[in-house]
């Protein structure tokens, strides 16, 4: 097979009021003596300190799994996402190791944060009204608030984290859509076919037959009776094996390649048609959109400031 196919912590600041009580002082008078004047400092009320005299409360830091361009991915969010990911596996499926799950979930959350950040920087705003509308739609789908609460509890969400997940997910989805939309409907493509064999000996025999005058069409059907070696139309970045793709886009129409070895066997390619702008199939467009997203994320991660803060 040559073709690729597959979410608040509120800072609590406690202000302690300080009461300062001014004390009064009395004086005694000698029968013959003149009254003594009390020092000014003893009779004036004690002045209250100015607000600047109190230290500024230090915000309680949120335990973080990672910090992406200065924004925290809460550790609790990461831990709950790990639980959600594990719960997504059926009993018949093999659960990856804890290390593999942690790596996958953390990478996914980092990528979500990058997408969300760029969406906001590009002018997208997920308003509070939009958030409430999304929650209202979920309530309508589930039928009641208690059903939504039960679903949240079953999926390890509290209210604050659920709202954060909805916001981040919506922002990230908007940016993903922008990236997908950058892939055009028609691009440069070739139509090609191949003579495919599992062994080097068979490939060499096919090449010798071609050189002796046997037609490519005849050999392609002989080696691949079901398809005749047809690969169809494909754009750059679509085939599973880049070496075959590179050769296909370098050959003139009607010419065949030398033997190309890949992980699955041996190929001889012939280019049947070439067009500089040909409509993409749905599968090819989805594949190019996935590649565009992967390339975008790789570039954003390379320039981002990412700090992994959990053990």
- Binned at pLDDT 50, 70 and 90, residue 311 comes out as confident
Does residue 215 register a pLDDT over 50? yes
Does residue 280 register a pLDDT over 60? yes
Beta-bridge partners for 205: none
Residues constituting the chain? 311
Domains 64-182+298-308 and 186-279 share a fold: no
CA distance linking residue 264 with residue 44, whole number of Å: 95
Task: Find out whether 178 and 218 touch, Cβ atoms under 8 Å.
Answer: no
CA distance linking residue 32 with residue 30, whole number of Å: 6
**Rg value, the chain, Cα:** 35
Dihedral in degrees, nearest 10, Cα atoms 162, 167, 173, 178: 180
Is residue 137 classed as helix, strand or coil in its secondary structure? helix
* 135-162 residue pLDDT tens: 999 999 999 999 999 999 999 999 999 9
CA distance linking residue 212 with residue 56, whole number of Å: 89
Task: Give me 128's structure tokens.
Answer: 């509070």
* 243-263 residue pLDDT tens: 999 999 999 999 999 999 999
CA distance linking residue 254 with residue 267, whole number of Å: 16
- How many whole angstroms from its chain centre is CA 311? 21
* 157-193 residue pLDDT tens: 999 999 999 999 999 999 999 999 999 999 999 999 9
For residues 114-132, average pLDDT: 97
Could you tell me the residue ranges of all domains in the chain? 64-182+298-308, 186-279
Q: Where do the DSSP E strands lie in the chain?
A: 64-68, 71-74, 186-197, 230-235, 260-262, 265-279, 306-308
**116-120 long-range CB contacts below 8 Å, 24 or more apart?**
116/167, 116/168, 116/171, 116/172, 116/175, 117/68, 117/69, 117/71, 118/175, 118/300, 119/171, 119/172, 119/174, 119/175, 119/178, 120/171
Name the more confident of 43 and 21.
43
Task: Give me 112's structure tokens.
Answer: 């979500």
CATH number for the domain whose boundaries are 186-279: 3.10.50.40
Dihedral in degrees, nearest 10, Cα atoms 131, 132, 138, 139: 160
- C-alpha closest to that of 270 among 226, 214, 187, 188: 214
For residues 198-218, average pLDDT: 96
Task: Find out whether 15 and 57 touch, Cβ atoms under 8 Å.
Answer: yes
DSSP state of 229: T
CATH number for the domain whose boundaries are 64-182+298-308: 1.10.4030.10
Query: What pLDDT was estimated at residue 24?
Result: 38
Query: What pLDDT was estimated at residue 57?
Result: 61
């Amino acid at each position: 097979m040559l073709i690729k196919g597959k979410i608040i912590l509120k800072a609590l600041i406690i202000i302690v009021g300080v009461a300062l009580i001014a004390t009064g002082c009395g004086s005694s008078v000698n029968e013959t003596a003149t009254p003594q004047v009390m020092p000014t400092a003893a009779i004036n009320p004690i002045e209250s300190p100015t607000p600047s005299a109190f230290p500024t409360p230090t915000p309680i830091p949120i335990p973080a799994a990672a910090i992406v361009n200065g924004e925290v991915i809460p550790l609790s969010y990461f831990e709950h996402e790990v639980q959600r990911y594990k719960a997504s596996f059926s009993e018949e499926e093999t659960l990856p190791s804890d290390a593999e799950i942690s790596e996958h979930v953390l990478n996914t959350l980092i990528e979500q944060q990058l997408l969300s950040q760029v969406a906001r920087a590009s002018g997208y705003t997920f308003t509070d009204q939009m958030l409430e509308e999304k929650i209202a739609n979920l309530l309508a789908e589930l039928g009641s608030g208690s059903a939504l609460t039960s679903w949240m509890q079953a999926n390890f969400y509290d209210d604050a984290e659920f709202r954060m997940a909805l916001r981040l997910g919506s922002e990230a989805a908007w940016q993903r859509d922008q990236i997908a939309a950058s892939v055009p409907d028609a691009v440069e493509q070739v139509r090609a076919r191949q003579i495919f064999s599992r062994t080097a000996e068979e490939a060499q025999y096919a090449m010798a037959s071609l050189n002796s005058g046997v037609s490519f069409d005849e050999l392609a059907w002989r080696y691949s009776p079901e398809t005749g070696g047809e690969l169809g139309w494909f754009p750059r970045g679509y085939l599973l094996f880049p070496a075959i793709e590179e050769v296909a886009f370098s050959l003139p129409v009607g010419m065949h390649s030398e033997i190309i070895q890949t992980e699955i066997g041996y190929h001889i390619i012939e280019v049947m048609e070439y067009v500089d702008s040909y409509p993409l199939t749905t599968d090819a467009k989805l594949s190019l959109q996935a590649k565009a997203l992967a390339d975008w994320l790789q570039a954003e991660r390379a320039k981002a400031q990412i700090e992994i803060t959990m053990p």
